[in-house]
Amino acid sequence: MRTIGLLGGMSWESSIEYERLINEGVRAALGGVASADLIIRSYNFAAIEELQAAGNWGAAGELLAADAKRLETSGADVVVLCTNTMHVVAPAIEAAISVPFLHLADTTATAIVDQGLSTVALLGTRYTMEQDFYRGRLVSHGLNVLVPDEPDLTLVHDVIYDELVQGVINPESKASYLEVIGRMIDRGAQGVIAGCTEIELLVSADDVDVPYFPTTLLHAQAAVSFALADT
């Protein structure tokens, strides 16, 4: 089994989901008491959020790239970044390591294309929805990516930071998210991307009437497949 290096703690609710899904995937494949071989670097999210709010992506990239290299030096055969938003610094991470980096947008795009869809709604943080680092990666796979109009865009972002990353699951916020999704479907979305791990804690596939793409689950499955490729 190959060793997976996780860059997590952004937030820790997100990292726990990654660890759970990866370990469950390995156990399902190998049976018994098998679990994943993981090396984890988990951050104080308050420090990361401060860099995000200041737009200091350069410093964030240097930090994550250095720690990705440490994961590799410690024995990681692949690096997985346990967050959608911080894929804005993916190029810095990829440049710092010689082992594979599993890009979350690529695993998501593959799942969407495999279902024959062309137009999808993207929900996530403001950074993920507005900037090109994620949307552009999806578009490079031939997809048309829709994001919410205001005030829906701000609502989606605020619920993530004010509630979900703090462990708050609010039924009223879930209802608001489903209304946003309904408006996106009316605009032509054939599917919905949960482009933030914490969104998956609020909205599930059973809540929507179109294909739902939980990026954390898809990313975790790709990590498990890589780890077990030679098993």
* 222, 225, 229, 231 alpha-carbon torsion, rounded to 10°: 150
* Number of Cβ within a 10 Å radius of residue 192: 27
The reported pTM is 0.86
Contact 164, 201 (CB under 8 A): yes
Q: Which of 125, 128, 196, 216 is catalytic?
A: 196
Rounded-to-integer distance, Cα 222 and Cα 104, Å: 9
Third-level CATH fold of 104-215: Rossmann fold (3.40.50)
CATH class of the domain comprising 4-103+218-227: alpha beta
Per annotation, catalytic residue among 82, 83, 125, 128: 83
Q: Is 82 a catalytic residue?
A: no
Q: Can 4-103+218-227 and 104-215 be said to share one CATH topology? A: yes
Q: Dump pLDDT digits (tens) for 139-187.
A: 999 999 999 999 999 999 999 989 988 889 999 999 999 999 999 999 9
pLDDT at 78: 97
Distance between CA atoms of 201 and 214, rounded to whole angstroms?
10
For residue 2, give the 3-state DSSP assignment: coil
The pLDDT assigned to 198 comes to 83
Which pLDDT score, from 0 to 100, does residue 2 have? 96
| pLDDT computed for residue 231 by the predictor | 59
Asked if omega into 148 is within 30° of 0 (cis), the reply is: no
Active-site annotation holds for 83:
yes
**What are the domain boundaries of the chain?**
4-103+218-227, 104-215
Give the pLDDT of the chain (231 residues) as one tens digit per residue. 999 999 998 888 888 889 999 999 999 999 999 999 999 999 998 999 899 889 899 999 999 999 999 999 999 999 999 988 889 899 999 999 999 999 999 999 999 999 999 999 999 999 889 888 888 999 999 999 999 999 999 999 999 989 988 889 999 999 999 999 999 999 999 999 998 888 988 999 999 999 999 998 999 999 999 999 975
